[in-house]
Structure 1
């Protein structure tokens, strides 16, 4: 609740970066919706965040693992990293593909 109030007070939505691909070419880029999805996450609206940008959760898992692996050693670190990168990339491009259907 406090984070939501802080976001409202700071009015973060007016500082969001525009999508230049959408402005100049008129089509969404593979990252369109990521900022709004993060904003939904900060507000605690997890389903809305997924609806806005379905690749948000694989990307969070990837970045969380990358941060944790710097602190701890994992036996199959490279395999886990590759798998999370593959899943994240696939989720981004599947989302991008379904925007055009």
Structure 2
């Protein structure tokens, strides 16, 4: 696991939005939050990018829904998507103020 974390830390992608406009985008912090989560720093990961946990939950649920075809799975995915959009927007608004 240490090799994976070291690889991720050494190969972070640059944010074009931040590079050209000088302001963080709505996804800034996600890579660092994933690295913090892999290191076991859950609180630090949440502070870095709060939507990471609901995004992970949504993608895990999506995988199960695709495999088992839940009856109301599409509705739950829709609500998880809306929740993620709200969290991302609120986090972005807090960052830029």
| Map of 1:6 onto structure 2 | 3
Q: Structure 2-normalised TM-score?
A: 0.93
Q: Residues of 2 paired with 1:35 and 1:68: CA distance?
A: 24
Q: Which runs of 5+ in 1 are unaligned?
A: none
Out of 16, 21, 31, the position equivalent to 2:17 is 21
Q: Which runs of 5+ in 2 are unaligned?
A: none
| Map of 1:87 onto structure 2 | 83
Q: What is the 5 A alignment of 1:1-101?
A: 3=1, 5-7=2-4, 10-101=6-97
Moved over 6 A (4+): none
Structure whose residues are more often helix by fraction: 2
Q: Structure 1-normalised TM-score?
A: 0.89
Count of residue pairs brought into register by the alignment: 97
